[in-house]
Structure 1
Amino acid sequence: MQCDQKIMNRLKRAEGQMRGIQKMMSEGQSCGDMMVQLAAVRASVDKIMGVMAAENLKHQLENPDADPDRQAEQLAKAMRLIEKK
């Protein structure tokens, strides 16, 4: 599965949020405020993982492997990614 622009944008947004938290730390802002931002980062990363897992499963279904055993293995792997999410 290739990383599409939507996922890349989400990753860049999460990266920016992390830099913002680092800045908050260096400015001595309250722990509570930083925890709110960290929760937002966690939610953002969870969303990215969900989108990636769904895209992977979609790819597996739209592009089946010629070998049924390998296809079943690939689908099982995609499902495990979703379960971990």
Structure 2
Amino acid sequence: MARQPADTKPVLNRLRRAQGQLGAVIAAVENGGSCRDVVIQLAAVSSALDKAGFQIIATAMQKCLDDPDDTTDPMTVEELEKLFMTLA
């Protein structure tokens, strides 16, 4: 089993949380849950996904600052800004 970098653990935790919340949304819709409960859960899913995306971008930005000559995942500042703006 391949080890994940330490900075991926928080992202994976957020994504798993979102996955569980999405499962709750699906179950609520299938079982005729209240509109209020469905919307609240959808907002939670959306927030968790946004936070995971921002965390991924923040990690990439930090990597660029720490080692600007690293070419393993070459991203320009402009590309990072564009990714960031897709989540904003």
What is the TM-score normalised by the length of structure 2? Answer: 0.77
- Change in 2 beyond 3 A, CA 1:42/1:83: same
- Distance in structure 1 (CA, Å) of the matches to 2:33 and 2:70: 56
Which residue is equivalent to 1:29? 33
Q: Is 2:68 the partner of 1:48?
A: no
- Distance in structure 1 (CA, Å) of the matches to 2:84 and 2:25: 28
- Could you say which structure has the larger radius of gyration? 1
Q: How many residues align?
A: 80
Which residue is equivalent to 1:80? 82
- Distance in structure 1 (CA, Å) of the matches to 2:30 and 2:70: 55
| Structure 2: runs of 5 or more not aligned | none
- Distance in structure 1 (CA, Å) of the matches to 2:69 and 2:85: 22
- Change in 2 beyond 3 A, CA 1:81/1:64: same
Q: After TM superposition, list the pairs within 5 Å mapping 1:64-75 onto structure 2.
A: 64-65=68-69, 74-75=76-77
Deviation at 1:83, TM superposition (A): 2.2
Deviation at 1:50, TM superposition (A): 1.0
| Structure 1: runs of 5 or more not aligned | none
What SS class does the counterpart of residue 58 from structure 2 fall into?
A: helix
Identity of aligned residues (%): 29
Q: Which has the higher helix share?
A: 1
